Structure 1
Amino acid sequence: MAEAHQAVGFQFTVRPDGVDFKLSQEVIKNIYLSGVTAWKKKAIQFKRCGYFESFICFYVVIDKGGVLHFLSRDSLLSYHGWIFESHGKMSTSTKVWLCLVKMFSGRRPLLYSFQASLPRLPVPSVDDTIHRYLESVRPLLDNEQYNKMELLASDFKENKAAQLQRCLILKSWWATNYVSDWWEEYIYLRGRSPIMVNSNFYIMDLLYVTPTHRQAARAGNVVHAMLQYRRKLERGELAPLRALGTVPMCSTQMERMFNTTRIPGIETDFVQHLTDRKHLVVFHKGRFFQVWLYTGGRHLLPSELETQFQRILNDTSEPQPGELKLAALTAGYRYIQTKNTLKKQVISLDAIESAAFFLTLDDEPQGYDPAKTNSLDSYAKSLLHGKCYDRWFDKSFTLISYPNGKMGVNVEHSWADAPIVGHMWEYILATDCFHLGYTEEGHCKGDVNKNLPHPTRLQWQIPNECQNVIETSYLSAKQIADDVDFHGYLFAEFGKGLIKKCRTSPDAFIQLALQLAQFRDQHVFCLTYESSMTRMFRDGRTETVRSCTSEAVAFVRAMEDAGATNAQRLALFRKAAEKHQNMYRLAMTGSGIDRHLFCLYIVSKYLGVDSPFLTKVLSEPWKLSTSQTPQQQLNLVDINKFPKYVCGGGGFGPVADDGYGVSYIIVGENLITFHISSKFSSPDTDSYRFGQHIQKAMLDIQALFKPENDKTAQNAKYVHLENGKKHI
């Protein structure tokens, strides 16, 4: 979600000195280590889950001529032709392929059953990548600027690209994924700026339903559901992640969901993942408590967890000196020097960093309330940054519990992307509401065990100089948080159902609406980032879809041209939507632009090769960063039968100082939620204003699909958005 901020703002800090031979040794060494890491992962997975790369797994198939062929499962899953076919028009070859995939998937495959058979992410050709790149920037540059960019690209392709490309191909042969380890290290872990707002993202609770208004009870059920999920995850008992319910996707990111912390370092952080952790750390009113999650060899029951959390809520002790804002260290600039001064607190600090996850029992109610203006905005900002000292931003995720029973999650981004956490969150909400449940009084079901040992206060002796650093970190984090201009609203005029009747992709529809809204807001077009996934490949993460295309620009200009007819606009819309869909498909199947260029840039730095073209590409600002949060990955709840049990989605902070971050979630057939962020300090942006532009753009595009004599769209009264005007 928030990766675009790091993608344009990272600094390459590993550039070895010396002659070319030594530089070449350095890149070969790095590629070698990438492969070693990948093979270590395989060994660990085999030890834990009992699967490993199978070189002899194959199937016999017969072609039309009656010739026998050996088809490995790897090659079977390498077929991506289905994704380029029109919806509802599946070819015979794709039907046969789907039958083979289903046939050899087994009746009840485990989470990691397909992991060893997923194909490797292919390295695109330099010619294709540069061609697509130049095509993507053409609508954003004038003729002189574009000609200069063409010259830079041509010089790079002729003089430097071949050497860099060979290194990437070598890495793709040796490592399981030529992008992911460098992406994690250089985009996330080497960043020295605050991860609060700039990198971490959030996910909301159910919009319309609060199962219980008792804070301790809700936390008890949710934590218990998380422990159930963790156990299934560790045993590989969850169903494999699949596209279309059939095509396997990579599950590697899920391995580090629990027992994981981002540990600060001098030049780079690292992700510490431990085996089964048996405790949780809870923050409440400036105090840290350790809560054991097991008793007698089993998980604590929801009622037992409720008892423990209620004991913490009832505790009236005061924070120790320096304890109140200690977590602000994780909100500000990376804090390795300060952490070194806390070595005497190794037991307490280790308790936090080794915990299964971090829980905050907040003391201010939040949540969406239609009767309260700005309630969604306040809720989102609380999840995104809170008070800047009441979330441990370095934990894989911080679970946040509010006094009115609402919940939410703040997620550290380096270890995984939003769909992975969304998968877990869907399981939690469904288990909480439909399996565990509550008593009539709102308590967790089950007997209350009052003999459990009380939660333990973590002890701190924080030196004065460290307290000063904590305060400095807090003030810098607060400045960032106060600058976040957030607006969230629920678009209920229509949803996926109507868009599909228009015979177009819902994602393309929304992306073109965002382009129209952006132009109306800023009066110029800008480089636009949409996150796509590459998890059909082993260890895949994301790729960028550059949504501001020449076709999209032509459509937007027609919408703003009073002389254009609706028929002309609709034709341009369909052309732009098809272009967007094709780009999305290319990104998903390993033929994107930005990850390839990013890795070429990394190799160039290792080799000491200066490339004005790559430097220019990697420094381009993404003034509009967008992401769709997936919904109904598990299909545990029928939202047609239970329309109130829908999640509000999630969002992230502003990517550029003078740009917008937009996350959207398509909820069922009739609702789309938008999460918009920008900065108050920018005189050019206003999140509420941009939300109005999005709403009008959505309705204006919808009107194109109506008969000309239907004046409904022209006379429609826009629903009142739930935010006030921008205040600085």
Structure 2
Amino acid sequence: MAEAHQAVAFQFTVTPEGLDFQLSREAVRHLYLATVHSWKKRLVRTKNSFLSGVYPASPSSWMVALVATAGSCYCHVDPSLGLIARIQSCLPHGQALSPRARAVVSTVVFSTGAWLAAVLLFRRLLRLLLSYHGWMFEPHGHMSRSTRLWMALMKLMSIRKPLLYSFQSSLPKLPVPPVKATVARYLESVRPLLDDDKYREMAALAKDFQENTAPRLQRYLRLKSWWTTNYVSDWWEEYIYLRGRSPLMVNSNYYAMDFLYVTPSPIQAARAANTVHSILLYRRRLDRGEIPPMMALGVVPMCSYQSERMFNTTRIPGKETDTLLHLADSKHLAVYHKGRYYKVWLYYGGQLLPPADLEMQFQRILEDPSPPQPGEERLAALTAGERVPWAEARARFFSRGPNKVALDAIERAAFFLALDEDEHGQEPERPGCMDAYAKSLLHGRCYDRWFDKSFTLVVYKNGKVGANAEHSWADAPIVGHLWEFMLATDKFQLGYTEGGHCKGDPRWQLAPPQRLQWDIPPEGVAAIEASLRVARALAEDVDFCCFPFSTFGKGLIKRCRTSPDAFIQIALQLAHFRDKGSFCLTYEASMTRLFREGRTETVRSCTAEATAFVRCMAEPRGTRSERQRLFKVQVWAQFGLSLGSVWGAGLGCRFRVSVWGVSSGCR
């Protein structure tokens, strides 16, 4: 307990002689360093906000403008055409400002105004350039003169190294597609699924919607698009995700796997320490804006808005709708092991804990022999069950006392870490191991993952890792960027000793992880068990077959001058038809991050071209040449669908569905 007492800055006791006050200098020092670290973080964020706000200009360009203006005035050349003199005449006269001082101030004011005007002009030009979409429709290997000119201008405008959010305010808004085009594309998407009679009935309903209901709703939609940065993303987040009352587990959350054939360290605590430290390094770069934005073709930026809530974020249950709790910063980690919850501090003296210190802390948790408290072991089943019972239990049993303090420690953590008791991974000699690995990451035991956190990092007993991510705050590519950074940093930058431990020496004076305390009444335990029954029924209903496919990959598909995405989509259509003997409405997600705050859009890959190819494949008398021809037609149609999902019907592409579209035409 000596280390724990050192963490207390001061303590006082009442004695017969009076008040006995004791001050810990070491604790005060750490409080001072933590305060300095917090203010440094705020200053960095303020600086990055300014740099992103004036991009593609820079503060040095303001100095250039100021020096150039002052030099011109010194040479008796007025670049302001009289504006400097007019500004000078408006300044107060008196002893406070001499004529020379007024001349300097007026020069600075004019230079700053001219520089800001140039910044606004360049940002407007950048937005116009980003609104160009012709590059997406260029034939492979050929580029038009207009696209070459556009790329040259984009490279010139982006000559400065951008920060993560440098392009945010310059990204174009998502256009609102016309209702007529939406209805026409909807009918086109359902035509392969309906016979003639049902299609005529659907066409009549669509026409009635287009003529009577849609015009008024479309006006509201356009009005919203004028005063919001993205007219659909907030509705998408709320109605597709946050208002869902079914379990997040399996239905919404997704997972990420480790290296299949490489395990950097078989020691659980060491692998957990390196992965956690790598993730925190990514968070630090994210806070500082040092991660460059994703760029298509190296010149077209994608929206980085979704990255803002990657850390320090939790989905809070509600009776009608959930909410997202996001904190600007969090200095601790929530850890689960063998039914017990811990709070692990990530900083010491204002500095991020190195991997050796984290390994020591995680090893202390693994060696802790204490049993779970009543109701503690299966507590996370509440996050795996339906949302309304969880919201009611949270308000009833976790809104006060030690339960609220412990729950806050989990919900306000940077992210959640589960030190799993099982061993998983790819083992060629063990059939079905990948199925068990995937199911473990997807739902685990239904009570050992905190499904409400932005993501749960899972570290298995044999050193394998994985993640389970909540979907409402962002889409899978955002977590994918983090995951790639973590795997590369863990393996190639941090590394391990020959014995598999983290490099460096731990500081044994660190206070041990804090065990979270719970006081869950019998009624709360009953609510936990009820949610667990629902979650287990859902998990047992999942049949999962996961295996590595090494026969060929996207390289071979591309050498055949075919889109890998289109290849997979037509393969799914063919497999489904051979299995079921019919087609179904197919949803493929495609991101719209080329627009500000864009998320995903719907691609309907079950097209007339796809069904024609599948029927030809099913026809015994179909010829090879005819199948090849139909396959090429389908591939180009699928390519057009993907482009349409990105750019929208307002720009002349296919299958961008209006929010007000016919209900079965939207997700």
Name the TM tier (shorter chain): 0.7 to 0.9
2:81 corresponding residue in structure 1: none
Give the match for residue 129 of structure 1.
182
Aligned amino acid, residue 335 of structure 2: V
The question of whether the paired residues in 2 share the 8 Å contact of 1:176 and 1:538 is answered with yes
Whether 2:256 is the aligned partner of 1:198: answer no
- The structure that is helix-richer by fraction is 2
For each residue in 1:634-682, what CA deviation from the matched residue of structure 2 results, as whole angstroms up to 9, or x when unmatched? xxxxxxxxxxxxxxxxxxxxxxxxxxxxxxxxxxxxxxxxxxxxxxxxx
Describe the SS at the equivalent of 2:545. Answer: strand
When residues 461 and 71 of structure 1 are mapped into structure 2, their CA distance, relative to the original with a 3 A threshold, is closer
1:301 aligns with 2:354: yes
Aligned Cα root-mean-square deviation (Å): 1.9
Distance in 1 between the 2:277 and 2:374 partners? 33
- Aligned partners of 2:48 and 2:119: how far apart in 1? 24
Which residue number corresponds to residue 292 of structure 1? 345
Alignment partner of 1:272 out of 325, 340, 343: 325
Contact 1:53 1:116 in 2 (8 A): no
* Structure 1 residue 352 displacement after superposition: 0.3
| SS at structure 2 position matched to 1:442 | coil
Q: Are the counterparts in 1 of residues 643 and 654 from structure 2 also a CA contact under 8 Å? A: no
- Structure 1 segment 204-603 matched on structure 2, within 5 A: 204-334=257-387, 335-340=390-395, 341-343=397-399, 344=401, 345-591=403-649, 596-597=657-658, 599-600=659-660
Name the CA shift for 1:171/1:596 in 2 (closer, same or farther; >3 Å): farther
- With over 3 angstroms needed to count, the CA separation of the structure-2 counterparts of 1:45 and 1:508, relative to structure 1, is farther
How many residue pairs were aligned?
555
Given that residues 360 and 399 in structure 1 are in contact (C-alpha distance below 8 angstroms), is that contact kept between their aligned partners in structure 2? yes
How far 1:494 moved relative to its partner? 1.3
Q: Tell me the alpha carbon deviations over residues 682-708 of structure 1, each in whole angstroms, 9 at most, x when there is no partner.
A: xxxxxxxxxxxxxxxxxxxxxxxxxxx
- Matches of 2:156 and 2:149, distance apart in 1: 10
8 Å contact kept, 2:248–2:451: yes
Kindly tell me: are residues 158 and 286 of structure 1, through their superposed partners in 2, closer, same or farther at Cα, counting changes over 3 Å? same
Distance 1:527 1:481 in 2: 25
- Amino acid of the residue matched to residue 609 of structure 2? E
| Contact map agreement 2:124 2:170 (CA 8 A) in 1 | no
CA contact (8 A) 2:162 2:293 kept: yes
User: Are the structure 2 counterparts of residues 506 and 471 from structure 1 closer, same or farther at C-alpha, using a change threshold of 3 Å?
Assistant: same
2:457 touches 2:468 (CA, 8 Å); kept in 1? yes
- Determine which of 96, 101, 111 is the counterpart of 2:149: 96
Question: Which amino acid letter does the alignment assign opposite residue 117 of structure 1?
Answer: S
Give distance in 1, aligned partners of 2:367 and 2:171: 51
Q: Give 2:129's aligned amino acid.
A: L
Report the structure number with the largest CA radius of gyration: 2
Return the offset for 1:45.
8.3
Are the structure 2 counterparts of residues 564 and 175 from structure 1 closer, same or farther at C-alpha, using a change threshold of 3 Å?
A: same
Cα distance in 2, alignment partners of residues 471 and 553 from structure 1: 47
Instruction: Quote the Cα distance in structure 1 between the aligned partners of 2:654 and 2:249.
Output: 28
Distance across 2 between alignment mates of 1:562 and 1:45:
65
Greater shift in the superposed pair: 403-412 or 95-104: 95-104
Equivalent position amino acid for 2:367 in 1 = N
Q: Point out 4+ residue stretches in structure 1 off by more than 2 angstroms.
A: 44-61, 590-597, 614-618
In structure 1, distance between residues paired with 2:407 and 2:366: 22
Secondary structure at 2:507's aligned position in 1? Answer: coil
Report the AA paired with residue 633 of structure 2: K
Stretch moving more, 495-504 or 120-129: 495-504
CA distance in 2, matches of 1:443, 1:473: 39
Give distance in 1, aligned partners of 2:181 and 2:380: 47
Shift of 1:47: 8.1
Give 5+ residue unaligned stretches, structure 1. 1-43, 62-69, 602-613, 621-728
**Which ranges of structure 2 fall in alignment gaps of 5 or more residues?**
1-43, 56-115
SS of residue in 1 equivalent to 2:335: strand
Cα 1:56/1:422, change in 2 over 3 Å = farther
Calculate percent identity across the aligned residue pairs: 59
Deviates more, 1:400-409 or 1:493-502: 493-502
Query: Aligned with 1:336: secondary structure?
Result: helix
Distance in 1 (CA, whole Å) between partners of 2:126 and 2:545 is: 47
Aligned residue type for 1:125? P
1:58 offset after TM fit, Å? Answer: 6.8
For normalisation by structure 2, the TM-score amounts to 0.81
Task: Indicate the residue corresponding to 2:37 in structure 1.
Answer: none
* Aligned position for 2:223: 170
Aligned residue number for residue 198 of structure 2 = 145
CA distance in 2, matches of 1:45, 1:227: 17
Q: What secondary structure does 1:164 align onto?
A: helix
Secondary structure of 2:418 counterpart: strand
1:233 partner letter: L
Distance, in Å, in 1 between the alignment partners of 2:613 and 2:663 is 31
Give, in angstroms, the shift of residue 509 of structure 1.
1.0
What CA distance in whole angstroms lies between the structure 1 residues aligned with 2:365 and 2:125? 56
Instruction: Decide whether aligned partners of structure 1 residues 615 and 78 sit closer, same or farther in structure 2, where only a CA change above 3 A counts.
Output: closer
The one-character-per-residue Cα deviations of 1:196-251 (angstroms, maximum 9, x if unpaired) are 00000001011110000000000000100111100110110111111122210000
Structure 1 contact 534–540 (Cα < 8 Å) conserved: yes
SS for the counterpart of 1:359 is strand
